Amino acid sequence: MWNIVRLIGLVFSVTSLLFAQAQATGGLTGKLTDASGASVVNAAVTATNIDNGQTRTAITGADGGYQFTVLPPGNYRVRFEAQGFKTLEIASVTIGATRVIADGKLEPGTSIPSLGDLGITPDQSQGSAQDQARLDKRSHMLKIHQRLGSITIAPLVATLSAANGAAGHKSTASERDLHAILGGVTAGMYLTTASFAIFAPKIAGTPTRGPIRVHKALAWIHGPGMILTPILGSLALEQRNRGEKVHGIASAHGAVAAVTAAAYGAAMLSVMVKF
């Protein structure tokens, strides 16, 4: 019974919160006409919050109408711009919890140039929240890639340090095991790091220039190297545990690991020199 009461209370709280948020935003709508009363289409309408400088842009439709569906309450300066007309500015419109109507009547003239006068179409001046979200996700994933990549240096250095003990003729099984465990941790962290770069959203039409080109090219060395090194390492470990001298393809483990570590270090440096 007590749980039901708490559940009802929770639902009531969430509903109140959502209602309060809905109340906290208003809207702005209106229609733009010329001196003859005809609709002005494709005009840019910019609402600038006077208090915090935040701007929103809308374009008038075929009926000259525009709307900002969600605007935080505050005082806004509203500017109407259309090619062939003088720019009209309403100094202050107060947006509260309800929708406010602000119509505009444009006079012919070109005393203040508009984006249309510069040959900029509404499509070029309108952004996409979806594209921004894609960029945000890309940056977020690459930031994790960068941090994990830096952290991976620690087990990588530890693995290289433990290699001396594991490689010698007098090496013990525990020294070899320690090297193998550290190598496994390094490879695991490396693959996690790499996955954040590989699966980060790609931005179409962006050429690769600058240090990032070197960074990506080096991945073709340390990437296969980070896969090959543990495979060769496990072969070498098996041979040593059987009391054999490391032979065949497994004897390349040390060299492949050294090249891989060097390429990884160079890849880190290539993006650290410039941000």
Partner 1 sequence: MNWKIFSGFLALTSLVGADGQWVLASSTLTYHVSHPIHQSEGASHAARGKGVCQGGQCNFLIAVPVKSFESGDTNRDLHMVQVTHGAQFPLVSVRVSLAEAALTSASIRCDVEIEFAGQAAKYKDVAFQALTKGNETRITGSIPATLSDFKIAAPSLLSIPVRNEMPVRVDMTWHPM
Which residues contribute to the site for partner 1 (CB under 8 A)?
Answer: 46, 48, 52-57, 109-115, 117-120, 124-129, 131-132, 134-136, 138-139, 142, 203, 206-212, 215, 271-275
Residues 103/80, Cβ–Cβ less than 8 Å = no
- Which residue number, 182 or 196, has a Cβ lying nearer to partner 1? 196
Question: What Rg do the C-alpha atoms of the chain give, in angstroms?
Answer: 31
CB of 147 to partner 1, least distance (A): 8
CB of 237 to partner 1, least distance (A): 36
CB of 270 to partner 1, least distance (A): 11
Four-CA torsion 54, 55, 56, 62, nearest 10 degrees: 160
- Which residue number, 21 or 111, has a Cβ lying nearer to partner 1? 111
d(CA 104, CA 215): 54
Query: From residue 142, how far is each of 23, 150, 183, 260 by CA, in Å?
Result: 37, 12, 24, 21
- Which residue number, 50 or 246, has a Cβ lying nearer to partner 1? 50
User: If DSSP codes are grouped into helix, strand and coil, which group holds residue 88?
Assistant: strand
- Which residue number, 96 or 113, has a Cβ lying nearer to partner 1? 113
CB of 68 to partner 1, least distance (A): 13
d(CA 82, CA 128): 22
Sign of CA dihedral 235, 217, 188, 202: negative
- The 3-class SS string of 196-247 reads HHHCCCCCCCCCCCCHHHHHHHHHHHHHHHHHHHHHHHHHHHHHHHCCCCCC
- What is the length of the chain? 275
- Which residue number, 98 or 111, has a Cβ lying nearer to partner 1? 111
d(CA 180, CA 229): 11
CB of 78 to partner 1, least distance (A): 12
CB of 112 to partner 1, least distance (A): 4
Structure tokens at 110: 């070109």
- Which residue number, 15 or 110, has a Cβ lying nearer to partner 1? 110
- Which residue number, 37 or 207, has a Cβ lying nearer to partner 1? 207
CB of 83 to partner 1, least distance (A): 11
